[in-house]
A and B are shown apart, each in its own frame.
Chain A
Amino acid sequence: MRLAIAAWLLQLRLLSRSPFFGWMALLTPLVYCSIAAMMSDGHASTRTIVGAGLMGAWSTTLFGAAEALFMQRYSGTLELLVGAPRSLVAPVFGFSLATVTLGVYSLVAAWIWSVLAFRTGGDGGDALPTVIAALVSMAGLVAVGVLLAGVYVVTRKAMELTNVLEYPIWLICGVLFPSSMLWPPFVVLGRLIPLGWSTPALDLPLGAEWGGYLGASLVLTAVYLAVGVVLLRRVDTLARVRGTLRLR
């Protein structure tokens, strides 16, 4: 736990000082929130604001998970991290938590932007179910980040892989629009990801259906975390056997 917290704080400091991540966390929700609001006669609904914030959170998770280990590989410290007597799981969990924490900036930025630029902070009404759904979505992103990091340790193409994963997840998880708009096979694909279960809850009031979606998302989050931990342990061994960690 101590190691995970240390990794979280260190990575959060590194990411907060990176203009690239700062801009991504702020600009992505601002741009997509603005486009959706301009398409809706200048009105940004709560769904649009939270959706745009989650888009930014996914981008920071995706690029952050890749960047963390890419930079470790690039600066030659990945070998030290893997070779250390402690498990790789705790630091990777901390890194992933840090990128999702940066995603909170995205949610706040989208809300402030909609108030400043479109004179609307959402639809009003009960915000509690939406806030809880957004938090569950963030928890799901941490788990996905851990799993992605495991993949990124063994591949040297992490940064390239991230470039193609941004839109597909926004699309199949119905982040900015209800996933019911999608072609059914896309919906099924989206349901393989925790975010694909938590975003439908953004459109629902507190209730059994809302709870069911979030419950499914939390179960899937736990599964992703478990698979991520197993993968990281396997990768830990594999990386030593292959001896490729020094390769860029």
Chain B
Amino acid sequence: MNGWIRTALLSGMLGYRALFAWNTPGLFVVSLVLAPILQLIFFLVLGSSLGYGNPSFFVVGNAMQASAAAGISGLVAVIADERRFGTLSYILGSPGSPIAVFIGRLIPGVVLGTFVSVLTGLVGLVFIGSVPSTGQLLFFVTAAVVSSLSCSALGLGLSALGLIHRDIYQVATAAYLAVLVFSGSNVAREDIPSAVRWIGELVPTTHAIDATRTVLAGASARGAMASLLIELSVGIAWGAIALLGMRVLAYRARVTASLELY
């Protein structure tokens, strides 16, 4: 068990340094920090031009959505890049647990997602001149952690497809855009057509956004905790699907000997 945890931690640390572009800090900051802030400004202006929502609505939605970029795109890119650099077959062929390696990759996703989410939220709140209480801020940070966890779990599940499918970037793009539309990050969920509104229940960030908006509107954190627990359940469900998918698809990848195809 110790070996498994050590592998997971090492994988997280090495993956963070090598595959999350940490070796080029300028680029890292620009793509992970600047891009979500620009997205927030874009939706603030769009909402204002259409007379929709209030600034705080967009700040919370886009702050939580920022964790999806790090969690989904980051996690998917990790497996896709392993394949591109030709190291995926070594991971699956090594005597260590490949599952531990991939679980380890969750750690930077969650840490970065939380960091970006909180930073985007703080910048947004300062920008709109809103001053939340310490309790509200603590809840915001907690929601960002849970949201990042569930986004990374979804990212891990999607990245499992990278074991058998060569071009998974479009899957990541589609998933990110689905979260953007159905989570209610920029459109109130009651304005989403009822035929597709249920999708929002299954994607990460939906319930974290609901909970944070409720708390920032002045409601008690205790009441919003239920939504946060649902968000956590969504993350756990995606994590379970990811683990099962990894196991089944890793086996399938060995059988079809398709790992070196790029």
Inter-chain CB contacts under 8 Å: number: 79
Task: Give the size category of A's interface with B.
Answer: 20 to 34
Task: Please state if A39 and B38 are interface contacts (CB–CB under 8 Å).
Answer: no
Q: How far is the CB of B50 from chain A (nearest CB, A)?
A: 5
A238 interface residue, CB < 8 Å from B?
no
Chain A 154-181 near chain B by CB (<8 Å), digits 1 or 0: 0001001001101110110000111001
Task: Please state if B177 and A36 are interface contacts (CB–CB under 8 Å).
Answer: no
B169 interface residue, CB < 8 Å from A?
yes
Q: Which residues of B contact A171 (CB under 8 A)?
A: 38, 41-42, 45
Chain A 1-37 near chain B by CB (<8 Å), digits 1 or 0: 0000000000000000011101110011001001110
B53 closest partner in A (C-beta): A39
B181 interface residue, CB < 8 Å from A?
yes
Task: Please state if B192 and A178 are interface contacts (CB–CB under 8 Å).
Answer: no
If A20-B169, A157-B24 touch, whether A38 touches B192 (CB-CB below 8 Å) is yes
If A27-B177, A164-B31 touch, whether A39 touches B170 (CB-CB below 8 Å) is no
Query: Can you offer 13 A-B residue contacts whose CB atoms are under 8 A?
Result: A19-B170, A35-B186, A36-B50, A38-B187, A39-B47, A39-B50, A39-B52, A39-B191, A41-B191, A160-B24, A167-B38, A168-B38, A177-B49
In addition to A160-B21, A167-B42, 19 A-B residue pairs with Cβ atoms within 8 Å of each other are A19-B170, A23-B174, A28-B177, A35-B46, A35-B180, A35-B181, A38-B187, A38-B191, A39-B53, A39-B186, A39-B191, A160-B24, A167-B35, A167-B39, A167-B41, A171-B41, A176-B46, A177-B49, A181-B48
Q: How far is the CB of B172 from chain A (nearest CB, A)?
A: 10
Task: Please state if A27 and B173 are interface contacts (CB–CB under 8 Å).
Answer: yes
Cα distance A28–B177 in the bound complex, in angstroms: 8
Q: Which residues of A contact B39 (CB under 8 A)?
A: 167
Q: Which residues of B contact A40 (CB under 8 A)?
A: 50, 52
Q: How far is the CB of B113 from chain A (nearest CB, A)?
A: 16
Q: Which residues of B contact A19 (CB under 8 A)?
A: 167, 170
**Which residue from B24, B34, B41, B181 sits with its C-beta under 8 Å from A164?**
B34
